[in-house]
Homo-oligomer: A and B are copies of this chain.
Amino acid sequence: MPEIDSLKMVDSPKTVDSLKTEVIERFGTPCAVVDLDVVDRNIAHVQALCDRAGRANRPHIKTHKSPVLARRQLDAGAIGITCQKLGEAEVMANAGIEDILIATNIIGAARSGRLAAMQRRLPLKICADNPVSLAAYAEAGRAAERPVRVLIECDTGQKRAGVETPGEAVVLAKIVRDDPALEFGGLLFYPPLDGWKATQRFLEEARAGLADLGLAPDIISTGGTPNLVNMDYLDGATEHRAGTCIFNDRMMMAAGFADVGTCALTIFTSVVSRAGATRGILDAGSKTFTSDTGGLNGFGLILEHPKARIHKMAEEHGFLDLSDCEDRPEIGDILRIIPNHVCVAVNMVDQLVAVRGGNIVDVLPVAARGRLV
């Protein structure tokens, strides 16, 4: 992790201190604080990357789950949004957002009738990698009397959801074509960082098979924040979905995509115990940060004490190893921590305290938090 030369978010240590005091007196700790100036810069940066690559920008709202921030992304030029769950789409639709792609196979929400209800309100785009999902979408499309637009999810190396061969994608596209309750929308990819050439081959082969069916994909969608630097490598792609880049986190720093100055979200947490000379306890644990390490050592980067290590989490305690710190935090100190994985940390809190220039300017509900279905 890099050394922290300058305090972020603010102009002077005095401003940091007064912000900390205001946060703890109004909200207590732990508290998730987001710097809207950094958010605005991050949104503009990603939009510029998409514009330069000739891609539409369809940000993934799983990171912020906030209709307010989704609206900022749309106002900056995004074509629409990506959701992972129907429940997220419901929250965003309630806020007036209309162009929504759900980037997962949705089965539970379909069987509960909520997919049909949403499809009645607005035409969704949803991805599928199997006939069971397609049958569920078709039923929703029939109930809503509006065909569901389907993107076939294709796997080019991540080994998550997605058909593994272009042939399978074409078979599914044919089912879509032949069902009046469905409409073929295109192909959805999440290429591995080193898998863009393979993705290009997959796309070309799929495109040929689709042409034989009389189909052409309107949308060819790619995803991922670290993949923002790879967008030029897929000829024919039309849009990109990235989530984490609105806030960034320690994982994105480790991947070289972000630095302290582009991390918009920190958790303010109090040191509540210093039992043991080289130990300390924070009032934020796995019920604030989650246990997601993102493959990194330790949990989170402490801006005030970058050499302090959060080496373990209990539910409401973060365990500090202060062995390497010359200047050790004291009980009552408020520390600002960049989480390893911001998407899961935001999902733990009901609201984000929004600041500009060290002043609290708003409180943003994480309105789609906990929408599991």
Contact = CB atoms under 8 A, between A and B. Distances in A.
Interface of A: 24-31, 62, 84-86, 104-109, 111-114, 129-130, 132-133, 155, 159-164, 269-270, 272-276, 279, 281, 283-284, 286-288, 290-293, 314-317, 319, 330-332, 343-344, 347-350, 369-370, 372-373
A127 to B, nearest CB: 10
Contact of A28 (B84, B109, B162, B284): B109
A283 B108 CA distance: 8
**Cβ-closest 9 pairs across A and B:** A29-B108, A28-B373, A28-B112, A28-B108, A105-B272, A161-B273, A132-B331, A291-B292, A291-B291
B290 A104 contact: no
Given A332-B132, A373-B31, A275 B164 contact: yes
A30 B108 contact: yes
Given A161-B272, A164-B276, A293-B291, A27 B370 contact: no
Q: Tell me how many chains of this kind the complex includes.
A: 2
A26 B113 CA distance: 8
Contacts of A275: 129-130, 155, 161-164
Contact of A332 (B107, B159, B270): B107
A370 to B, nearest CB: 5
Most buried by B among A273, A293, A317: A273
Contacts of A112: 24-28
B373 A159 contact: no
Contacts of A281: 105, 160-161
Nearest to A373: B28
B286 A344 contact: yes
Most buried by B among A108, A159, A161: A108
A107 B30 CA distance: 10
Contacts of A133: 272, 331
Contacts of A279: 159
B315 A84 contact: yes
Contacts of A270: 107-108
B370 A349 contact: yes
6 contacts: A28-B111, A105-B281, A159-B276, A160-B281, A163-B275, A286-B290
Given A112-B28, A372-B284, A344 B315 contact: yes
A294 to B, nearest CB: 9
B287 A344 contact: yes
Contacts of A162: 273, 275
